[in-house]
Structure 1
Amino acid sequence: MPLSAPADRQPIHTRKVTCEGFRRADGLWDIEGHITDVKAYPFHTDERGHLEPGDPIHQMWMRLTVDDQLTVQAVEAVTDHSPYRACPTITPRFQALVGLRVGPGWTRAVKERLGGPQGCTHLVELLGPMATTAFQTVFPILTREKAEKAKAEGRPAADRKERPALLNMCHIFASDGEVTRKHWPEHYTGPGAEEAAD
C-alpha cells in the first residue's frame, strides 16, 4: 500500500541511494553503493559556480569487497561531484574499513574510524545500506549452498542449535515471535517455550 496522497507541494531535494551485491569469480563478494543529491531549483555554489536543477551536488561511489564472513578485504571510494574541491581528498581514509566485519558493532566501528572530520558524512551514511546489502547478498547464497551440500551428503540442512543470524535483528525475527517459533523452535523464548523445549 503506498503512502497517502500528499498535500499540495513543490519538489526541493532528491537523494538517491543504490546498493548492489555481486559474487566474484575469486570467491569474494563486492558490495557497491552509489549516492546522489540533486536540487529541483538552480543555485550558486562558491567553488562550482552555477548549478542547474538536476545537477548533482553530491555523487559518490563506494565498493566494499568482503569474504564469506563479511570481513572487509578491500575498499574503494570515489567522489565525482561535491560542493568543495577538497571533498575527494578524504576518500583514502576509507581504507580504515579494511579488516572490519560487517555485523554487530559495525556502525560504532565505522564512526570511531570515520566519524566527524575523520571522514565524509555522505560516504559514511552510505555504509549503512551497504551493510544491509552485504547481508542480503551473501547469506542467502551461502545458506542455500550449505543446505544443498548437506542434502547431497544425506545430512540435516542446518545445526538446529546454532543461533540464526537473523534472530532479534527485527521485530519479525524476535525470539518470542511467531516466525522464530515456527522456523527456529530451539531458539523460541515466547509463551510455551518451556513446553516446546521438553
Structure 2
Amino acid sequence: MTIEQTAVPADDVTREPLHVRRIEFNGFRRSDGLFEVEGHLTDQKSHDFTPPSGLRTVPANDPIHDIGLRVVFDFDMIVRAVSTYIRAYPYRECPGGGDSLQALVGLRIGAGWSGEVRKRLPTGETCTHLREILIPLATAAIQSVNPLRSQVLLEATDANGKPLKIDSCYAYGVSREVVMQRWPTFHRPEKP
C-alpha cells in the first residue's frame, strides 16, 4: 500500500510561526456505568494579540482560547449531561457561550450528529469553538466505547437480516474483503 507524502517546504524557504491550535479528546468509562468524553481546545499566537474589541492584549504564547467540555453518555450513546468551561477567551461575553449546549441532552451520538449539533446550537447563541469541538468529539466517543460495543454492533441487523455494519464505512463497504470474510452472503463484488 502506498501513502502519498505531503509537500514539505524546500530547504531555502523559511517559515514564521503565527498560530497554534490544539484540540485533544479523552474518553472514560465511569464507575456509575456511564461514559464521558472531554474535549479541550487552546489557541495561542507567537506574538502579542489584541482582539478587535481592543479591550485587552493577549501576550505572545498565552492562550487566547482555553476552553473545553465534557459530554456524559450511556451505552446506547445517548447524551445524559454536558458541562463546559471557558478559562481564556478574547471577549467579555464569551463565558456565556456554553449555556446552549444543554440542548444536546437526549441526543444520540452517531449518524446525523453533526447536523443535529448545528441545528440545536444556533451560531449566535453558542461559542463557535465549543461547537467546533463537538463534531470530532462524536468520533472520540465512538472510539472510546466501540471496543465494548463491538460484538453488539457486529450482530445488529436490519429488518431483512442485513448487518447494519455493512456500508457503515469504507472498510465495511459491501464489496470489501471484511464483508466477504464476515458476511459472505451479503458480499457484492466491485463492479469493473
Category of TM-score, reference length = shorter chain: 0.7 to 0.9
Is 1:44–2:57 an aligned residue pair?
A: no
1:48 CA drift (Å): 5.4
> How many residue pairs end up in the alignment?
181
- Correspondence for 2:61: 54
Which runs of 5 or more residues in structure 1 are unaligned?
148-156, 193-198
1:6 to 9, 19, 28: 9
Amino acid paired to 1:39:
K
1:175 CA drift (Å): 2.0
Is 1:123–2:130 an aligned residue pair?
A: yes
1:18 to 24, 31, 39: 24
1:97 to 100, 104, 121: 104
1:173 CA drift (Å): 2.5
Measured in 2, the distance between the counterparts of 1:65 and 1:20 equals 12
| Preserved CA contact (<8 Å) 2:80 2:106 | yes
1:51 CA drift (Å): 1.7
Amino acid paired to 1:124:
R
Percent identity of paired positions between Structure 1 and Structure 2: 36
| Preserved CA contact (<8 Å) 1:93 1:114 | yes
* 1:1-198 → structure 2 map (5 Å cutoff): 3-7=6-10, 8=13, 9-45=15-51, 46=53, 49-143=56-150, 158=155, 161=161, 163-165=163-165, 167-191=166-190
Q: Structure 1-normalised TM-score?
A: 0.80
Please provide the CA RMSD for this pair.
2.5
| Preserved CA contact (<8 Å) 2:43 2:65 | yes
After TM superposition, the runs of 4+ consecutive aligned structure 1 residues lying more than 6 A away are none
Structure with the higher helix share, 1 or 2: 1
1:185 CA drift (Å): 2.8
Query: Structure 1 residues 47 and 25, CA, compared in 2 at 3 Å: closer, same or farther?
Result: farther
Matched position secondary structure for 1:173? coil
Which runs of 5 or more residues in structure 2 are unaligned?
none
